[in-house]
């Protein structure tokens, strides 16, 4: 059987205590009792879940801020130039956004992120930005799959 060295296991994790719970051979878990601390592993799992939740919430908050800035700028362009906010103002806004971003961002990726940002802003602007911190089981991607009709229903 292939052996996993202590050096490779410590490079995988930041905590040297983790190297004690990683089996030294592939069959160790089957043939020998483990000295694994379930409390330690469970706490580590809980911490990882907490950090993942925070990252998801931060991502959603960033989408909301981007969406808010886009919508406010679109409305400002529409009122300043006396044009339809859903047509000409959007084209002008897209040019402004594109000019400020790196050239290597594809049009499709930018469009997806703009749409996702506007949906997030519309949703959380209605129910309250403070609700972002209550999200634990939904990702920014799953939230953005809601249709505008779903958001308006809320």
pTM to 2 decimal places: 0.64
Q: Token pair for residue 73?
A: 């700028």
pLDDT of 2-46, one tens digit each? 444 444 333 334 444 444 444 444 444 454 456 678 999 999 999
What's the average model confidence in pLDDT over 37-65?
Answer: 92
pLDDT for position 149:
72
Residue 150 pLDDT greater than 80, yes or no: no
Top-confidence residue, 13 or 68:
68
Given a contact cutoff of 8 angstroms between Cβ atoms, the answer to whether 93 and 117 are in contact is: no
pLDDT at position 6, please? 41
* CA–CA dist 80, 62 (Å, integer): 27
**What is the pLDDT at residue 80?**
77
Give yes or no for a contact between 56 and 135, defined as CB atoms under 8 angstroms apart. Answer: yes
**Higher-pLDDT residue of 63, 76:** 63
pLDDT of residue 29: 47
> Which residues, other chains included, contact 152 with Cβ-Cβ below 8 Å and sequence gap of 6+?
none
- In which region does residue 8 sit, left (phi positive, over 0), alpha (psi from -120 to 50) or beta (all else)? alpha
CA distances 38 to 4, 10, 34, 42, 105, Å, are: 21, 19, 10, 6, 45
């Amino acid at each position: 059987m292939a052996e996993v060295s202590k050096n490779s296991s410590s490079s995988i994790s930041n905590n040297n205590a983790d190297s004690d719970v990683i089996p030294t051979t592939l069959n160790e878990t089957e043939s020998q009792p483990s000295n694994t601390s379930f409390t330690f592993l469970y706490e580590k799992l809980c911490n990882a879940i907490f950090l993942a939740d925070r990252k998801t919430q931060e991502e959603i908050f960033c989408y909301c801020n981007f969406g808010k800035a886009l919508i406010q700028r679109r409305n400002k362009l529409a009122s300043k130039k006396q044009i339809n906010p859903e047509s000409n103002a959007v084209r002008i806004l897209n040019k402004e956004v594109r000019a400020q971003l790196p050239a290597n961002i594809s049009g499709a990726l930018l469009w997806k992120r703009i749409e996702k940002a506007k949906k997030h802003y519309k949703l959380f602007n209605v129910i309250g930005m403070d609700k972002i911190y209550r999200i634990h089981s939904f990702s920014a991607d799953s939230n953005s799959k809601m249709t505008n009709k779903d958001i308006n229903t809320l």
